[in-house]
Amino acid sequence: MSLSRTTRCGVAVFALTLLCEVGWCAPATTPDSCIALRKHGHKTEAQSCFEGLTKSTSAYFRAEGYWGLEQYDSANEQFRLATQAPTGGALERVRWGMLLHERFNNAEADDLFNEALQRDPKNARAYLGMAVVSTYGFDNKAAAYAAKAVELDPKLTEAHELLAGLALDDGDTEHAVTEADAALAIDKDALDAMAVHAAIELLADKDAAAEVWFGKIKAINPGYGQGYALVAGQLEMHYRYEDGIVYYRKAIEADPRLWSAHSALGIDLMRMGQEKEPLEQLELSYDNGYRDAATVNSLRLLDSYKNFVTFKDDTTILRMKKEEADLLRPYFDAELHKIIATYQKKYKMTLPAPVQLEVYPDHEDFAVRTMGMPGLGALGVTFGEVVAMDSPSARKPGDFNWGSTLWHEMSHVYILTMTNHRVPRWFTEGLAVHEEGQAAPEWADRLTPEVLAAIRQNVLLPVEKLDRGFVFPDYPEQVIVSYFQAGSICDFIGSKWGEDKLLAMAHSYGELKTTPEVLKTDLGLTPEEFDKQYMEWLDKRVGKTAANFNEWRTKLKALVELDKAKDYDGVLRDGPTIVALYPEYVGDANAYEYMGNAHLKKDDKKGAMADLKAYEKTGGENPGTLKQLAALEEELGDKAAAAATLNRINYIYPVRDEELHKHLGELWLAQGNFAGAIREDAAVVAMKPLDKAGAEYNLAQAYYAAGDKAKAEETVLLALEVAPGYRPAQKLLLELQPAGAKDPTDKK
Ligand SMILES: [Zn+2]
């Protein structure tokens, strides 16, 4: 629970307050002097300094005193009194806001900073507070607020320190150094500025240089765990989770009471697939009052693990929710092994340890798993050799393709392992997007309207700045656009220089080369030359479509009207032009589906099949439409295509659809794909259908056809257990057993 402005403290504090108000308290030193003592590691002196403050006649001083003593409720109450007093102004509100921020209440903290600015519009510390809160809210205003703080008070050390950290988040080392140095020029003991310097050195693999900075921090305050924690956060930010763990441990070693570091360590260890120590660390922080959303949610998730099952083999660890494991495991297991076999060859490496895949049917659990916070938009996330992703059941049918997501995430596993996590975001994301299209052409990244808009407005980023589009987007769609751009850059490199060149680039990044160096070494181009060639290549592929966009949109709107008016001749007349203007569009209200429907209305099944096939090939993923296509393919005699289409739905929405599995099982049994038939019939059984006997019987037939008599007998007996008089099952059992060996209803 977080601290709130309205929290009231106990009577004792009121009594003391009254005593102080009438002058019973000893005069105390200032809050700044106590904070300085603490900063320099003089713990005992700081403690008595803060105690002294609590006896002050000033409510504000008392607030700072209680805060220093970690008596947060009392501090809160004193801040309330301080802001009510006629003298209470901006300072009291800013400091109260910082307390609330520290106690997990950013919303009210922000209110207080705003109130402070109403009283003093030039209050640099209020802007700093807003910047600090903003770093937790992902609204990207942190840097702007911090810059405003510096503008109002160029000597505000903490604002420079914050700017240094933000620049490093952004991968802008140069700016990070400038800001850290600016902080140190104002205050030679600026500990967080030193920590930023240490992080910069570690990120460049200059461990000895980092140690020099840690040495400086230690000389000032050996108990300053926050410095290590700041470094750990930067390592995490740059995918170096294992190293992050090392530095959170150092933070705790320096300051065993740094509960935020205990919590962060627990969450990082969870990401690495551990359970025991994370539980200990998170409970420790929780029990000591550190109860931010990430800590609470992560503890909740650890508790929910009892509802999961884990399957292990030599190369994989698969963790799934109990109730869907029987159904989904065969699909995920097979795909995961296929991916490992493919990447092992392609990336020319074997993973040092089994890869752990966790599949979450509840998207909020997944979000907690990955960020410590709910509300994340992603579908999958990779931490070292652990991949966490949504289960197909977590999303609306057609919302996402677990198959392509898994190929994407597994590419990260290989690339991050191969480069020891030293690879820029744009490259690892771009390569993963590229791999989706390599695994199946219809999984290639979509040229969505947002992407087309960005191309038309000429706002694609230069390759050197592409990371920004992921981390600090300038407009809401820029993340999606950057995924597309990064993916198509890798498509371009793969098509022009070959797939092995992408691998060579990954290795160059592993050697800590920068993007300009990698482009020079592996492609022989400067970033500017590369951008030029890429833009030319992209323009050839999509330039026309981008130029067509407005015409396409107008015409598509008219098509929707024609469909509404049931003018199917009109739909079929105009549809092909619309598809030609923007063939990649398979989102809501696409021309393919309107044309398919119009053909059906005119009883032209062949025409409808052709429309829907084109939709499928282009990447259309509406399960209902794909089922319709499969039915047409079957009806028109192409049963192999029908089975292939149904199997595509297995990658999109294999849950809650008995009919899909049953029918695909029948088709594959008839086509002699026995392994496929077994998987599909087993899926029906796993869904606990009403006709359990029928489902078991179908599965037994598939086993029998595959030549596995033992499994066939075992399964047909299960059918007879449910329905002893089930004639086809009795017949199959007789066939399976030597003549007269057994009474078919005799249970083992
Ligand atoms: Zn990714």
The two three-digit tokens of residue 659, written as one number: 């009919």
Ligand 1 center–CA 380 separation, angstroms: 7
Closest CA to 339 of 324, 355, 363: 355
Ligand 1 center–CA 264 separation, angstroms: 22
Ligand 1 center–CA 408 separation, angstroms: 6
Q: Sort residue 240 into left (φ over 0), alpha (ψ -120 to 50) or beta.
A: beta
pLDDT value for 207? 95
Task: Report every protein residue that has its C-beta within 5 angstroms of ion ligand 1.
Answer: 429, 432
Ligand 1 center–CA 410 separation, angstroms: 9
Cα distance from N-terminal residue to C-terminal residue, the chain:
57
The one-letter amino acid at 578: I
pLDDT value for 147? 94
Ligand 1 center–CA 431 separation, angstroms: 9
Ligand 1 center–CA 19 separation, angstroms: 60
Ligand 1 center–CA 378 separation, angstroms: 9
What value, to the nearest 5°, has the Cα angle with vertex 701 and ends 697 and 706? 150
Q: Which residue stretches of the chain have pLDDT < 70?
A: 1-2, 6-28, 137-139, 371-378, 739-748
Ligand 1 center–CA 488 separation, angstroms: 14
Contact 661, 649 (CB under 8 A): no
Ligand 1 center–CA 59 separation, angstroms: 51
Ligand 1 center–CA 587 separation, angstroms: 22
pLDDT value for 739? 62
DSSP string, 534-558: HHHHHIIIIIHHHHHHHHHHHHHHH
Angstrom distances, CA of residue 180 to CA of 174, 186, 227, 422: 10, 10, 13, 23
pLDDT value for 8? 41
DSSP string, 278-331: HHHHHHHHHHTT---HHHHHHHHHHHHGGGEEEEE-SSEEEEEEHHHHHHHHHH
Ligand 1 center–CA 426 separation, angstroms: 9
Residues 3-49 have pLDDT tens digits of: 877 644 333 333 334 334 443 444 448 999 999 999 999 999 999 99
- From CA 612, how far away is CA 582, in angstroms rounded? 16
Residues 21-34 have pLDDT tens digits of: 443 444 448 999 99
Ligand 1 center–CA 406 separation, angstroms: 10
- From CA 256, how far away is CA 490, in angstroms rounded? 46
Ligand 1 center–CA 473 separation, angstroms: 16
Report the run of H or E that residue 226 belongs to, with start and end.
Answer: helix 225-237
Ligand 1 center–CA 412 separation, angstroms: 7
**Strand pairing partners for 355?**
316
pLDDT value for 637? 97
Ligand 1 center–CA 429 separation, angstroms: 5
pLDDT value for 1? 54
pLDDT value for 745? 47
Ligand 1 center–CA 222 separation, angstroms: 39
Ligand 1 center–CA 413 separation, angstroms: 10
Report DSSP state, residue 356.
E
Contact 700, 744 (CB under 8 A): no
Ligand 1 center–CA 738 separation, angstroms: 56
What value, to the nearest 5°, has the Cα angle with vertex 499 and ends 495 and 502? 105
Contact 560, 572 (CB under 8 A): no
Ligand 1 center–CA 346 separation, angstroms: 18
pLDDT value for 382? 76
Ligand 1 center–CA 443 separation, angstroms: 14
